[in-house]
Amino acid sequence: MKRIIRFGRSLLTHRLAKDGFFMFSGTMVANVGAYLYHLMVGRILGKEAYSEVGALLSLLYILNVPALVLLTAFTKFFSGYKASGSLDKARSLFVIATTYLAIITSILFVLALPFVPFLTQYLRLSSPWLVVWLFVGLVFFVLTTVNIGVLQGFQRFRQIALFGIVVSAIRLIFGAIGAPLGVGWTMVGFSVTGIVVYALYFLPIGFILQKKKAVVAIDMMPAVRYMIPTFLAILGITAIYSQDVVLVKHYLSAADAGLYAALSVLGKIIYYASFTVGTILFPVLAEHHEQGTDRRHMVWLGLAAVGAISVILTLGYGLFPTFIVRLLYGRVYDDAAPYMFSFGLFMTFFSLSYLLIQVCLAVGRTRVWVFAASAAILHVILVSLYHESLRSVVTVNIGVSSVLFFALLIYYGMEKNHAK
């Protein structure tokens, strides 16, 4: 009993607990702002028009996977520079990465334009300009990953939390301006938000920008060997919580797609409520892995934290589904209430799976991509086959995410040596 009490005290006074508190608090405030954005836009536009915004933003999550991979890789590289105290090398990597990304994203933007008509038709959108504005915002979100990678790698969690709140407020402001004017102006506001946010994220990284540049020697083969499977892993796990909205928009009616978009946003409260655990854990595990120190207790505590948050929120969805839907979206979305608890189960398994994938990538266990990619492929096949109703899609979500979680748990448990 005394050992448990001592452990509890050390946990509460640990720097990670303090940073975690600020990170969690800031992220929750930012999430409230993000959800206010969706709720406001959903109420103003109505189910049919909101289904377009929901489908586009879900498509963004999938297209944004390369940015998430870059963020993961940058966090790992900058964590290494933190461990060695090499701020000058961190500045050099930042400059090099930003320059190359600006060139590459500009080229890809031009190459993506011919695909705009196809996406417009597949998603049944009212205008091809909606996709164009989505691409514009995506470019700046990709560029921002370098700045955020610096903050995560150097474990500046308080600044990440603060700027998360600022970003949420900016998105809400431009959403309030654009939504009354229609879907088109809503997406224009989305793109402008990306530009403004990118500019603001230069402020908190001044601690490396003021350093002189140093020669950065990056062995490209290990970097490539890490980034390719990381891309596949993050693509797989991101697809599982994004492609369902896109597929529902394609297969079902606009009204059903609008309901499902709202259901998805509400369900993802669970993921975003526990997301900070992985955000904090990843750079810490990467640093410990570089130093060759043990990390098992952090992983199990992280899983316990994500599990506790997810279960509590899911129970709330089961007990008060109609109240939650009406409070956030209004009576017009009442038909989403019967699916709240089931969607909560889906997001619980998803959140635990996402954390395990982050853990594996932080310590270099990149073969985890096989599980994520296989689950994503199975998911799209099953949804394509069984989409008679929203219930069918949610059931498929639960099945795929639960199988993925237990497979990942077994895979991580098979690791014999938890230190480097």
Which residues, 6 or more positions from 85, have their beta carbon under 8 angstroms from its beta carbon? none
Residue 15, pLDDT > 90, answer no
67-95 average pLDDT score = 80
Question: What does the pLDDT read at residue 372?
Answer: 94
User: What's the confidence (pLDDT) of residue 274?
Assistant: 81
* Cα–Cα separations (whole angstroms), residue 400 to 266, 314, 342: 20, 18, 13
Mean pLDDT of the chain: 83
Joined tokens for residue 105: 């994203």
How high is the pLDDT of residue 16? Answer: 56
Query: What pLDDT shows up at residue 29?
Result: 78
Dihedral pair phi/psi, residue 241, rounded to 5° = -105, 15
Query: What sign for the dihedral angle of Cα 87, 93, 96, 100?
Result: negative
List b or e across 124-144, with b for residues whose CB sees 16 or more CB atoms inside 10 angstroms: ebeeeebbbbbbbbbbbbbbb
226-274 pLDDT, tens digit per residue, is 778 888 898 888 888 888 888 888 888 878 888 888 888 888 888 887 8
For 93, the enclosing helix (H) or strand (E) is helix 87-112
Q: How far apart are CA 204 and CA 238, in angstroms?
A: 28
Global pTM value = 0.69
- How crowded is the C-beta side of 9, counted as CA atoms within 13 Å? 6
Please tell me what DSSP assigns to residue 113: G
Q: How confident is the model at residue 5 (pLDDT cuts 50, 70, 90)?
A: very low
Confidence of residue 183 (pLDDT cuts 50, 70, 90): confident
User: What is the spatial distance between Cα 165 and Cα 24, in angstroms, rounded to a whole number?
Assistant: 11
**Structure confidence at residue 262 (pLDDT):** 83
Question: Quick count: other Cβ atoms within 10 Å of Cβ 64?
Answer: 20
pLDDT tens profile 141-182: 889 988 998 888 888 878 888 888 888 888 889 988 988 888
Beta-carbon contacts of 139 under 8 Å, excluding residues fewer than 6 positions away, are: 105, 106, 109, 194
Q: Which residue has the tokens 């940058």?
A: 74
pLDDT digits (tens, 9 = 90+) for 193-206: 989 989 998 988 88
Determine contact, residues 412/359, Cβ cutoff 8 Å.
yes
Whole-number percent of the chain with pLDDT over 90: 25
Cα 73 → chain centroid: 15
Which of 22, 39, 15, 24 is CA-nearest to residue 273?
24
The type of residue at 301 is L
What is the rounded average pLDDT of the residues 262-290? 78
How many CB atoms are closer than 10 A to CB 216?
Answer: 18
